[in-house]
A and B are shown apart, each in its own frame.
Chain A
Amino acid sequence: MEVSLLLFWPALAGYAEAAVAYAGDTVRPGRLVRAATWGVRLGWLAQTALLVAQAADADGFPWGTWAGSLNLFVWMCVGAYLIWGCRAPFRLLGLAVMPLAAALLTLAWAAGGVGEPARSEFGDLFLAFHVGLILASFAGFTLAAALALLYLVQERRLKRRSAGVLRLRFPSLQTLDTLTVRTIAFSLPALTVGIGIGFARLGSEGGAFDAIMAVTLLAWVVYAAFLVLRWEAGWRGRRTAYLALAGFLLVVLVRLVLTPFVHF
């Protein structure tokens, strides 16, 4: 069996264990958090090793296929989550991120994205920059969507004034709001450059403007509008959270609905 396939299982096991432990932590806060954190860390390390093994086996950019790029996307999402996820108030974020990571990694495996990489017809440098930057921005938007979702849940709990509002340790609304904005502010430039490289190649090599490009551009417009409305018009809270989720729906459309039908 290939090394990369052998590494897939511990990565998936780590993410799945973390997802279950985070769910358990909402029932009994404090008990399973350590197990969840270590599941994320070990799973991510195993997936890092998987990607390294794929890169060593490949003679070009190894994640050019849809399934391969999904594998890389999951790694980026969990990596971004690890920046905050281990801090106590953000552990609940794992409840949104880790089941998604486990599901998408399984999907990447089922579609053949974790085994020996397929050779792409595009140049390696182009793919590395174009795919890498767009995936990094999408990973950021995924995290921003999880933060926005958490914001809406916590906001609703506070508005409903439920007796158990303090039982679960949520980050404060202000922190969630600020982090959503920051994550989008970091991700949008990556998407801008990734799109720019794509259009540059389209101009020099030729090709048709397709649905993926259209929806990706629409996502760019939504996230750019998000930042403009936040910084210039003073939008915040629930409205910006909904906007971040709307942008994420377009990311889902690109990643899971449109891209599987496109061959690089």
Chain B
Amino acid sequence: MHLLLVGTSYQRAPVELRELLAYDRDLRREALERLSAGGAEAAVLSTCNRTEVYAVADDTAALEERIYGELATLSRLSHSELAPALYTVADEAAALHLFRVAAGLDSMVPGEAQILGQVREAYNGAREARTAGAVLHRLFRQALRVGKRVRTETAIGENPASVSSAAAELAERVFEELAGRRILLLGAGKVADLTAANLISRGVGEIVVANRSPERADALARRFGGRAVGLDAVEEELEQADVVVASTSSQGVVLSAQQVGRAMRRRRGRPVFFIDVAVPRDLDPAINQLDGCYLYDIDDLERVVAESVAGRREEAVRAEAIVSEEADGFRAWQLSLDVVPAIASLRAKAESIRRAELERVESRLASLSPSQRRAVEALTSQIVAKLLHQPTVRMKEAAAAADGVLYADAVRHLFGLGDDADPARQPRK
């Protein structure tokens, strides 16, 4: 049985092509049914940055052809149009690729967390469609474990990768948690919108929107379940706000250090975190000099994000080592599949001989008490187990060294195990 991956990602295909190759839930289910026809295993990972088909079958050439056909049908592109954007990877390399994907090492931002959920979704899709067999079950479970391990044992996913999450994380360095905090939004720009959404996802208590246009303020306030005020009420609102996000299109300063200083005196020193994402800036830079005030503008936040992403790249080196170790584990498991059927046949044959011999002397054992019968059963089972222990261990060791098929054939020949259906008998290429 061979594992095959055919797919594309943001590294190979522009968004126009990725759009054509995106699977929704229903399309994926139909594709899995078609791909698994003939007994193959199949799973589809489809995100905004990648579409990858993982499949397991004996005949890799036919399998690859079928996956290409599937992707061509989906995208309505010809084979030749599609081919330059697709990559094909087999066996251990395919496993290594999925582990790197799950670890976030193949993502645009190293260590991003969303991909792990998307790998889980791909696995669940294959399980629901009953197209995941022994290999894909093992592969995806291990990939999910690798993803968790990398995020637990390295700091790859710890620091923010976007301006909005950096702003929220910085606010948490001042207030510990944002639950119950009050946010004052000055203006209703796109970045402020994103920042506010990020802060809300962290549980902020109340949002107040101040904007020159009351209609836009009302609309944004309604969207976030907050209230709208005019720009003239900002100084008053500042008395209660914990985080201020500024993004107006004003050409001058909207909030001066003097205004903030007056508000700080009324706040009795309670800190405020200011985020200024407007260009030109809305907030007087001198605000940062005031006691208890922390001001970050768009350049500050972008520097924090750049440093954070660089830190993630450093951690990626450690993550690669974990991924590589797990890929070795998967390879060993896959190789052990070569000898598992032979070991199972050998044990079954030994057990049948043991039972047959006991039945042959049944008349002579009839006089034994139940406890004596149990002792004979246990004794004969132990002899069989001890005799087979060493060959079993040796065969598994040989499998790990890629000699499993040879040993499995030798065992079949020596013990006359016969040619039972064994998909793993083909030598590994």
Contacts and interface: CB of A to CB of B under 8 A. Distances in A.
A150 to B, nearest CB: 12
A172 B304 contact: no
Contact of A159 (B166, B270, B294): B294
Interface stretch (B88-96, B169-177, B182-190, B205-213): B169-177
A172 B170 CA distance: 9
A158 B173 CA distance: 8
A166 B304 CA distance: 7
Contacts of B308: 166-167
Given A161-B300, A163-B306, A164-B307, A172 B269 contact: no
Interface stretch (A62-70, A191-199, A235-243): A235-243
Given A158-B174, A173-B174, A165 B304 contact: yes
Given A172-B172, A238-B291, A166 B166 contact: yes
Nearest to B265: A234
A174 B294 contact: no
Interface in A162-219: 163-167, 170-175
A71 interface: no
Given A159-B288, A237-B271, A167 B173 contact: no
Interface in B335-384: none
For chain A, which range describes its interface: under 10, 10 to 19, 20 to 34, or 35 or more residues?
Answer: 20 to 34
B175 A172 contact: yes
Q: What is the interface residue range for chain B against chain A?
A: 20 to 34
A154 B307 contact: no
Contacts of A260: none
A29 B176 contact: no
A167 B307 contact: yes
Nearest to A29: B155
A174 B307 CA distance: 25
A167 B269 contact: no
Interface in A129-181: 154, 158-159, 161, 163-167, 170-175
A30 B155 contact: yes
A29 B271 CA distance: 28
A101 to B, nearest CB: 26
Contacts of B306: 163
A161 B296 contact: yes
B176 A172 contact: yes
Q: Which of B169, B269, B294, B306 has the most CB of A within 10 A?
A: B269
Given A158-B173, A174-B174, A163 B292 contact: no
Contacts of B268: 234, 236
Nearest to A237: B292
Contacts of B142: none
A154 B173 contact: yes
Interface string B174-205: 11100000000000000000000000000000
Given A158-B170, A174-B176, A163 B288 contact: no
B176 A175 contact: yes
B29 to A, nearest CB: 41
A111 B308 CA distance: 48
A163 B302 CA distance: 9
Interface in B272-321: 288, 291-292, 294, 296, 300, 303-304, 306-308, 311
Given A29-B155, A163-B304, A172-B172, A237 B269 contact: yes
Q: Mostly helix, strand, loop or mixed at chain A's interface?
A: loop
Nearest to B153: A30
A241 B238 CA distance: 25
Contacts of B240: none
Contact of B173 (A163, A165, A235, A238): A165
Interface string B78-104: 000000000000000000000000000
Contacts of B169: 166
Contacts of A234: 268-269
Interface in B97-113: none
Contacts of A170: 173
Given A166-B308, A167-B307, A30 B176 contact: no
Nearest to A176: B176
A166 B172 CA distance: 10
Interface in B136-157: 154-155
B160 A166 contact: yes
A234 B294 CA distance: 19
A30 B154 contact: yes
Contacts of A237: 269, 271, 291-292
A166 B159 contact: yes
B175 A174 contact: yes
B5 to A, nearest CB: 32
Question: Which of B169, B172, B176, B270: most chain A Cβ within 10 A?
Answer: B176
A122 B149 CA distance: 59
A163 B303 contact: yes
A120 to B, nearest CB: 45
Interface string B394-414: 000000000000000000000
A238 B170 CA distance: 18
A260 B393 CA distance: 69
Given A166-B169, A237-B292, 9 more contacts: A158-B174, A158-B294, A163-B307, A165-B304, A172-B176, A173-B173, A174-B271, A234-B269, A237-B291
6 contacts: A158-B170, A158-B174, A161-B296, A167-B308, A172-B173, A174-B176
